[in-house]
Amino acid sequence: MNAAPASAPRWRPNVTVAAIIEQGGRYLLVEEHTDHGLKLNTPAGHLDPGESPAEGCAREALEETAHHFTPTALVGVYMARFERSTPGDAGDTDITYLRFAFTGELGDQEPGRALDEGIVRTLWMTPDEIRASTERHRSPLLLQCVEDHLAGQRYPLELFHVDASVGLLQKR
């Protein structure tokens, strides 16, 4: 294994969490504004300091859909790289995402709760509708997570061990 030069910055993937929510053969997605127009995604976002991946997933689902969500199983762990060079921009974008995708129980909706900034609406789509709309997916991981969920892929939440020191970040 080759080590990075001492002067090189340490590589750190962006940790994200995603809720794979299915009811009656349809999946709950969000439509959101991006730099590339309106895109579809599962309710997802970055893991915040001081929270476990399951807690982060529940928070993101609430923020993006106004529904409470309780993760009950891990669907999978995924990595994807996003590269983009923007003409006239001094910095290229090169981000690797490490995503923990959960399935679980959809709870009550909070009436009147505003959706997260950039989220236009929530919608329910069938797997075939999701497959037919790949050009509108914010991430290539959206379809892979749905396919894995459809295949019955589930792992116990006990895979995660969150040390008590993580919760100390919330008290600062």
Tell me which of 6-10, 83-87, 104-108, 120-124 is least confident. 83-87
pLDDT > 70? residue 1: no
Residue 7 confidence class, pLDDT cut points 50, 70, 90: confident
Whole-prediction pTM? 0.87
The mean predicted confidence, pLDDT, of the chain is 91
Q: What is the mean pLDDT of residues 43-48?
A: 96
Residue 110 three-state SS: coil
Query: Exposed (0-12), middle (13-18) or buried (19+): which is 37, by Cβ within 10 Å?
Result: exposed
The predicted structure's pLDDT at residue 11 = 82
What span, in angstroms and rounded, lies between the C-alpha atoms of 8 and 22? Answer: 43
Q: Could you give all domains of the chain from N- to C-terminal order, each with its CATH number?
A: 14-153+165-169 (3.90.79.10)
Q: Identify the CA nearest to 82 among candidates 63, 65, 99.
A: 99
Percent of the chain with pLDDT over 70: 87
Residue 67 vs residue 11, higher pLDDT:
67
